[in-house]
Chains A and B, each alone.
Chain A
Amino acid sequence: MVSTTHEDSTTGPATGTATAAAAVDRAKAEGRAALVAYLPVGYPDVRTSIEAAKAAVDGGADVVELGLPYSDPTMDGVTIQRAVDAALAGGTRPADVLRAVEGVAATGAAVLVMTYWPPVDRYGVDRFARDLASAGGAGLITPDLIPDEAGAWIGASDAQDLERVFLVAPSSTDARLALTAERSRGFVYAASLMGITGARATVGAGARQLVERTRAAGAERVCVGLGVSTPEQATEVAGYADGVIVGSAFVSRLLDTDDTASGVRAVGRLAAELSAGIRSA
């Protein structure tokens, strides 16, 4: 299912793989922040989730995070839980995620896989890294893998030249910010607040300070996520971060409709609105 577009799959990603770092840098060159859109693979079905991700790219997303559904998503609120439960009930498997990566990467967008660690651990870290690279994926975002536990993944991602996005939180000490900045590749994901995913009325007040602290700790690119859902919030975050990460709001567009075509269109519209919000910052 996963095509190998380069001769030796052990030496690195498919030639021409778009990286999140390059996407963020390109946005920066245009004088704006990047838009990072999250969607879980398999909701409402694998094909539609791929179409929705492509619609987000058409609408202006610079980077796509494809979620690998997991049975115990402790960092997620009810919106993403609902979509992920349905994706699993529909039989979504890691091979589907790799297929989706390939499909979305074909648009030229940078594609990261957002995954809890147990499925990757089970798949085999080296094997997952190889298959992700072959599919044209840029790397992984790992919400429950901290850099000090990530020896196996750091080795595998170095070998495959993949990006590894670790998270920082308002509670992170300066020493941990430095550790995370040093071991991340691509960008550092700053959680805007202490909590789980889900839309919120306001972006965490500590987000700006966390971005500043993370930069001071050595991070080249810092994107902000958790609770960012409206164009106004995107404008606000784009004022101080290198990227704006939006998840639950996209997922809601798919959850709130019975008709997949209009759900996909709504995802594209939201991306366009967020993108406009970012450009107005």
Chain B
Amino acid sequence: MTAYDEPTVDVPAGEVPVSFGPTPLAGERGPYFGAFGGRFVPEALVAALDEIDAAHRSAMSDPAFVEELAELHRTYSGRPSIITEVPRFAAHAGGARILLKREDLNHTGSHKINNVLGQALLTKRMGKKRVIAETGAGQHGVATATAAALMGLECVVYMGEEDTRRQALNVARMRLLGATVVPVTAGSRTLKDAVNEAFRDWVASVDTTHYVFGTVAGPHPFPVLVRDYQRIIGVEAREQVQQLIGRLPDAVCACVGGGSNAIGIFHAFLEDADVRLFGFEAGGDGVETGRHASSITGGSPGVFQGARSFVLQDEDGQTVESHSISAGLDYPGVGPEHSWLGDSGRATYRPVTDSEAMDAFKLLCRTEGIIPAIESAHALHGALGVARELGPDAVVLVNLSGRGDKDVDTAARWFDLVSDEDLVASEVERVSDAPEDTEGSGW
């Protein structure tokens, strides 16, 4: 019935869709991951989703496309990213070895560029000239603006107004790169509202525009597409760790917002039954307080932004606002593949509070001279716990998904590193630079 040949979702009357136990685990390609996934979208978008799915499948089996992307990785974003062992940091976890996969060293400062370069090439392949994106921390927006500049595409980024304040530096970066940043004032003014606004744009512009979705959530094929472009993290790391220590790690840790950096590093290890996988969600003030962004730990299965997955919702299915110090994790949903891996027990998901993450943030700064993204600091805290649990012989691999430059302001406030006068001064600047102009700033 649809443009792609398999697998097509077509749920029989009275039945609930499930995929049927893929072997191997890593072979699952959606639309459903167990009971999660699917396409809960307006009919108007179905043709475009089918087109993207077909284009992606053909691109992945086209050696020229694969080589073009690999070349961009080598010569533009700086892959393979290195592995750094962090013994002074690990000393705080009872002697296990901790290895960081350094996605923070990628061009633009996070793993987001991996996905964006792939989708930008795909945009050109589909003959589209305009890209739109949502962004929370601004990292995905910056990456999209970067790829758009590189490939000569028009770029519009939707960002919750609250996030344009928290991540003002990244707003400036996107505008420098020529993107139009649209502050979104609907709803909670954060990432989920930026996604809604991007969908509203897309349903009217889908003929000319590709929606560069930033994480492994949303309707099929985005969870699979984004994963396919992020799985290079784990593919490289698996090889690198084996070279370094002669075996596989005992555990792999990553932070989970929508889940793209986590699935990116997990995927190559899915079939390695002895490698434990841990995803760390934003615990905010603590899951018990209700002010958090832990969709798997503190949410329930539901439909949200195009897919069935775990979501923070009330008893009527209304989305509950998420809370996290980290803009990139401040999202009430999570990708369907994570819901499935969590449900089936293959991966374990745990919450990390704001203050736990900030402690780990500071510890990495002070012991290793690496300032992590606050998102990644959630994984760092989690890794300390996992390392203690697994004991001194364990080797724990952590995805350091991004660098902390964008978070310096937040950290300075958290740790009281700036005087009150400094804060007042920067507040004044902020107000006079209020993100009212919805146009690019003329760059």
Contact = CB atoms under 8 A, between A and B. Distances in A.
Interface of A: 70-75, 77, 81, 85, 88, 93-94, 117-123, 143-146, 148-152, 154-156, 158, 166-173, 175-176, 179-180, 191, 193-196
B234 interface: no
The 5 A-B pairs of least Cβ separation, nearest first, read A155-B14, A122-B317, A151-B11, A169-B44, A195-B204
B323 to A, nearest CB: 16
Interface string B18-43: 00000000000000000000111111
Interface secondary structure of B, over-half rule: loop
A42 to B, nearest CB: 12
Given A148-B9, A152-B16, A171-B48, 11 more contacts: A74-B42, A144-B41, A146-B43, A154-B13, A155-B15, A167-B42, A169-B43, A176-B47, A180-B43, A194-B203, A195-B203
A123 B316 contact: yes
Chain B: number of interface residues, binned into ranges: 35 or more
B51 to A, nearest CB: 10
A152 B186 contact: no
Given A149-B17, A151-B15, A173 B316 contact: no
A119 B318 contact: yes
Contacts of A120: 317
11 contacts: A74-B305, A123-B316, A145-B40, A148-B2, A148-B10, A149-B11, A149-B39, A152-B15, A171-B206, A172-B47, A194-B206
Contact of A122 (B38, B186, B305, B315): B315
B39 to A, nearest CB: 6
* Of listed B38, B43, B302, B304, residue having the most chain A CB within 10 A: B43
* Of listed B2, B15, B303, residue having the most chain A CB within 10 A: B303
A272 B10 CA distance: 42
Contacts, number: 143
B44 A171 contact: yes
Interface stretch (B192-200, B256-264, B365-373): B192-200
B288 to A, nearest CB: 22
Interface of B: 1-3, 8-17, 38-48, 186-187, 192, 196, 199-200, 203-204, 206-207, 302-305, 308, 311, 313, 315-319
Contact of A148 (B11, B186, B204): B11
Nearest to A177: B43
* Of listed A77, A81, A149, residue having the most chain B CB within 10 A: A149
Contact of A75 (B10, B12, B13, B203): B203
Contact of A71 (B47, B308, B315, B319): B319
A30 B45 CA distance: 36
B13 A158 contact: yes
B42 A144 contact: yes
